[in-house]
Amino acid sequence: MDEMTTLRELRANAPVPDRSALAAGRQRLIEAAGGAAARRGVRRLRADWRVAALGAAAAITVAAVLGTQFVDAAAPDRSGPATTTGTLRLDSPAEVLNRAADALEKQRAAPEPRDDQWIYTKTLMAQSPRKGSAVGRLVYDPDNWVPYDNSAAAKIGKDDDYRTSRQVYRAANELPDDPARLLAKVRSFYPTGNTAESPPEAEAQHSFRAMGLMVEAYPIAPAALARIYRALATVPGVHVTDHLVKDAAGREVIAITRKEDGSHEQREILLDPHDFRYAGMRFVVSEDYESTSSAGKVQFLSQKFKAGQIMLSEARVEAAVVDAKGEKP
């Protein structure tokens, strides 16, 4: 039986899972993308990538792009994007993020959602083709509704990175202006590992991962997001790609990047070049390398990866506060 038919049968009568139920599957998808090297390099992604692999079969659309190399095809544009504050040069993360903060500080915050309201998001996610797979590219395009005060899901476990929208909204509003103090607060809010299975991250990597989670949150007050961007610009190893890149939805976006410690990939936080809001995340190969999978002493699969190849890409195409599950803006 081919994989397309199997997936269609899997999802035939399956209900759509909510966001908090998908965390574990999302990590399995990440590990599948890069074998042992990916497991080492993105070990802390189990909760900040919340779309499942097989667990989200109810929300899967599969596109067979056989033999396609899923790489960044955006042509460099050194002039930078036109934004609400004029042309922006993409040659410094401090310039980009501070300009973004300046624009956000001029925006008025909407009222905080009520505890009985829901957060609606629509997300598209794509995975790089795997050698020997009949399916070249998997695309996940789920509608999702989560209670603003999702207290039950927040009790999943102390080591889980899941926080309710209400928790993040209020924590962001209380962040200090000082970048160093802000980063320390965010690291405490999204702690690093402390076991052999999930060892501690170095401070800079911990900061970038945790800040990515905070930036991804919805909703978040413009003034709070501005403070976060100013602090993000100070994280060691942070860069900005000098041209717009494509997200999983095909939109041109700004990529704020940092190479993952001990890995051949970099994590990218994607921002809309017009309003500087969160657009998505990517994991991109930062240097050519070869990965060999094995079972015991037997090596059975070797795959070469090229710099610029996109391993995972996620685009948030809609986000809104609604009054009931199932309601769309």
**Residue 76 falls inside a structural domain:** yes
Query: Which tokens in the block code for residue 174?
Result: 């209380």
Q: Is the pLDDT of residue 4 over 70?
A: no
pLDDT band per the 50, 70, 90 thresholds, residue 193: confident
Does residue 79 or residue 154 have the better pLDDT?
154
End-to-end CA distance of the chain: 40
CB contact set of 256 (below 8 Å; sequence gap of 6+): 93, 96, 97, 232, 238, 239, 240, 268, 269, 270, 271
Burial class (CB in 10 A: 0-12, 13-18, 19+), 53: buried
pLDDT band per the 50, 70, 90 thresholds, residue 273: very high
**Residue 119 falls inside a structural domain:** yes
Q: Is the pLDDT of residue 282 over 60?
A: yes
**pTM for the structure as a whole:** 0.76
Q: Determine how β-strand 252-259 pairs with β-strand 265-271.
A: antiparallel
Task: Tell me the residue type at 26.
Answer: R
Q: Determine how β-strand 60-63 pairs with β-strand 137-140.
A: antiparallel
Token match 């986000």: residue? Answer: 319
pLDDT band per the 50, 70, 90 thresholds, residue 154: low
Does residue 112 or residue 291 have the better pLDDT?
112
**Residue 29 falls inside a structural domain:** yes
Q: Is the pLDDT of residue 252 over 80?
A: yes
pLDDT band per the 50, 70, 90 thresholds, residue 301: confident
C-alpha distances (whole Å) from 61 to each of 57, 124, 146, 327 are 8, 10, 21, 22
CB 85 within 8 A of CB 99: yes
**Residue 69 falls inside a structural domain:** yes
- In the predicted model, what is the mean pLDDT of the chain? 77
Does residue 118 or residue 50 have the better pLDDT?
118
Closest CA to 89 of 100, 80, 98, 97: 80
**Residue 329 falls inside a structural domain:** no
* Side-chain half-sphere CA neighbours of 114 within 13 A: 5
DSSP alpha helix (H) spans, the chain: 3-10, 23-41, 93-104, 151-154, 165-173, 179-189, 203-216, 222-232
pLDDT band per the 50, 70, 90 thresholds, residue 182: very high
218/220 Cα distance (integer angstroms): 5
User: In this predicted structure, what is the pLDDT of residue 303?
Assistant: 84
User: In this predicted structure, what is the pLDDT of residue 198?
Assistant: 82
Query: Which tokens in the block code for residue 39?
Result: 């497991």
Residue 297's domain comprises: 3-322
**Residue 85 falls inside a structural domain:** yes
**Residue 79 falls inside a structural domain:** yes
195/206 Cα distance (integer angstroms): 15
Does residue 300 or residue 204 have the better pLDDT?
204
Task: Tell me the residue type at 200.
Answer: P
Q: Is the pLDDT of residue 62 over 70?
A: no
Mean pLDDT comparison of 31-40, 75-84, 106-115, 284-293, highest-scoring range: 106-115
Closest CA to 219 of 307, 296, 124, 120: 120
pLDDT band per the 50, 70, 90 thresholds, residue 214: very high
**Residue 328 falls inside a structural domain:** no
* Domain tally, the chain: 1
R_g of the chain, CA atoms, integer Å: 19
Token match 């094995």: residue? Answer: 294
User: In this predicted structure, what is the pLDDT of residue 36?
Assistant: 36
